[in-house]
Structure 1
Amino acid sequence: MENVKALRAQQTPEEQRLWQLLRARRFYGYKFRRQVPIGAYIVDFACYEARLIVELDGGQHAERAEYDLSRTAFLQAKGWRVIRFWNNDFRAFEEGVLMVILEHLRAGGDKAGSA
């Protein structure tokens, strides 16, 4: 739990921005949680009803590709779908990233979603 608190306090500006858009059912009524422990991992954002995890990755993930692959395989084995975006892509294409998230939510969740 200490790790979760530290990660919440040290969010990147991109994570902070995405959280402002996703929190409190602001995003088409879907409920997201942030810095969620799943097994031994802590994921950036999770929507339980759609079983969707959204990860925002900074440059350090380029050097951890193998770790991220095994982490994603574990999460998928637990029934989660994982989508990843680079921080710089979110910064440059925020609306496009949000539309991809919405497509994944609608494909996997029970909600029809409403604008």
Structure 2
Amino acid sequence: MNHPRPKLNPLSSINIMNTIELRKQIEQNLLQISPKNLKTIAKFVEFIKQQENSQNIHPLLSETIAYKPASGQSVLRHAGQWVGDDLEDCLNFVNQTRGKVLANKHINPFE
């Protein structure tokens, strides 16, 4: 019984290559890419690195750190203990220099 041969993906040969050969092929392909697209590729590489780093960090955190909700006790221990006459100056400085922050756990430069 003859089975039809699967069509090979032109990139399937990449699976066979070792890391050094793959790096050389990527390097050769990069020589033919426009500067605009090189910037896009650089952003994508940074995105991949961040994902790999977060995958390496998160398992360790979940194994070693148990989440405990904040009680506020550490802050309350210091309530009413300000020493000095610069409290107003400090509060004004904080209010003047405070800015909005967008924290995105999963940064994706392509969104």
TM-score of the aligned structures, taking structure 2 as reference length: 0.24
TM-score of the aligned structures, taking structure 1 as reference length: 0.23
Higher helix share: 2
Rg (Cα) greater in structure:
2
